[in-house]
């Protein structure tokens, strides 16, 4: 990350660039990891905040210095989902965003952000979801540092039909589809190794509606996050635990089975138990 003279108030936190980023599924409250802060303008602070391994689905809420920002109108922030970066892009906004700070990158093109401070090499943070903010100076801020907390729908995951045809890609808290993502996209197993019919059946069972305290909820949901200190096997076991699932590797494919209520094979009663 290069600088030029005159950027002494720009803190390029290069040590942060080497930190592991999280692999998150479901909905999370995230502070993120500040990788760049620029205070050349006394009236505004520019922040680049790495969030997690992309692509992420959406930003649902944003609180800056104790104030909730209205996400329904353009603000001084841009949310990059974490697609493959475009190294040659110059950060120019799309035509519909010209003249304003577009609230997020709808196309997910992961271009170098238009808020990149002068003298800083524009980066795309390829495959990392990140947030860029221009925060106005606030005399009533709770501290000298900028506090940023957001609620996000995190990693987008793929869903298939029982024949193995891709249906869509979106965020979600269904552990069956999260397990499929961990096996294929993260671990790198080919899609042909997955018994998609079993995963569809497992996903449908996870999302069956049950009543708890008078409220209709899905049977199993998973909102979990892992750092790089957690192995893939540990992450996989954790996801399986959220839905009482197990994996079977048979006949060249991997099947997902979830423990479900079954009719008993035999009932033990006082009439068929011998004394002693």
Q: Which conformational region is residue 71 in: left (phi greater than 0), alpha (psi within -120 to 50 degrees), or beta?
A: alpha
Amino acid 83: pLDDT: 86
CA distances from 194 to 164, 171, 206, 250 (A): 8, 20, 18, 10
Amino acid 140: pLDDT: 62
Reported as a single tens digit per residue, the pLDDT across 202-231 is 999 999 999 989 899 999 999 999 988 889
Reported as a single tens digit per residue, the pLDDT across 152-174 is 999 999 999 999 999 999 999 99
Cis status, amide bond into 55, omega within 30 of 0: yes
Our CA angle for 91, 93, 98, nearest 5°, is 140
- Token readout for 141 is 């801020």
Residue 29's nearest CA partner among 129, 154, 128, 142 is: 154
Residue 174's nearest CA partner among 231, 234, 243 is: 243
Amino acid 91: pLDDT: 52
Angstrom distance (rounded) from CA 89 to CA 183: 32
Strand 44-53 relative to strand 77-80: parallel, antiparallel, unpaired? unpaired
Amino acid 141: pLDDT: 61
For the chain, which residues score pLDDT lower than 50?
A: 1-15, 92-108
Neighbours of 63 (CB within 10 A): 14
Contacts of 233 (CB under 8 A, 6+ apart): none
Amino acid 202: pLDDT: 97
The answer to whether 190 and 180 have CB atoms below 8 angstroms apart is: no
Angstrom distance (rounded) from CA 26 to CA 179: 12
Amino acid 100: pLDDT: 35
Amino acid 11: pLDDT: 46
Residue 242's nearest CA partner among 206, 211, 217 is: 206
The torsion angle over the Cα atoms of residues 206, 211, 212 and 214, rounded to 10 degrees, is 150
Residue 163's nearest CA partner among 191, 190, 203 is: 191
Amino acid 74: pLDDT: 61
Q: What are the helix and strand counts (H, E) for the chain?
A: 4, 16
Burial of 51: CB neighbours in 10 Å, binned 0-12, 13-18, 19+: buried
Contacts of 182 (CB under 8 A, 6+ apart): 232, 235, 236, 239
């Amino acid at each position: 990350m290069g600088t030029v003279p005159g950027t002494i108030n720009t803190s390029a936190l290069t040590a942060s660039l080497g930190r592991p980023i999280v692999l998150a599924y479901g909905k999370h409250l995230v502070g993120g990891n500040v990788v760049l802060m620029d205070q050349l303008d006394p009236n505004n602070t520019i922040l680049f905040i790495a969030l997690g391994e992309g692509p992420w689905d959406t930003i649902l809420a944003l609180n800056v210095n104790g104030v909730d920002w209205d996400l329904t109108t353009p603000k001084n922030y841009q949310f990059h989902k974490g697609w493959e970066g475009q190294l040659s892009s110059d950060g120019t906004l799309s035509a519909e965003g010209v003249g304003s700070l577009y609230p997020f990158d709808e196309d997910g093109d992961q271009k170098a952000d238009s808020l990149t401070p002068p003298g800083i090499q524009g980066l795309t943070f390829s495959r990392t979801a990140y947030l860029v903010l221009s925060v106005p100076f606030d005399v009533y801020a709770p501290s000298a540092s900028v506090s940023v907390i957001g609620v996000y729908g995190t990693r987008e995951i793929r869903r298939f039909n029982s024949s193995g045809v891709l249906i869509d890609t979106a965020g979600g808290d269904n552990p069956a589809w999260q397990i499929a993502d961990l096996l294929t996209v993260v671990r790198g197993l080919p899609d042909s190794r997955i018994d998609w019919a079993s995963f569809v059946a497992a996903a449908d069972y996870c999302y069956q509606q049950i009543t708890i305290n008078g409220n209709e909820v899905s049977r199993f949901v998973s909102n979990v996050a892992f750092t790089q200190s957690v192995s893939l096997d540990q992450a996989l076991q954790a996801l399986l635990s959220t839905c009482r699932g197990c994996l079977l590797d048979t006949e060249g494919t991997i099947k997902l089975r979830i423990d479900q209520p079954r009719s008993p094979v035999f009932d033990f009663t006082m009439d068929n138990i011998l004394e002693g």
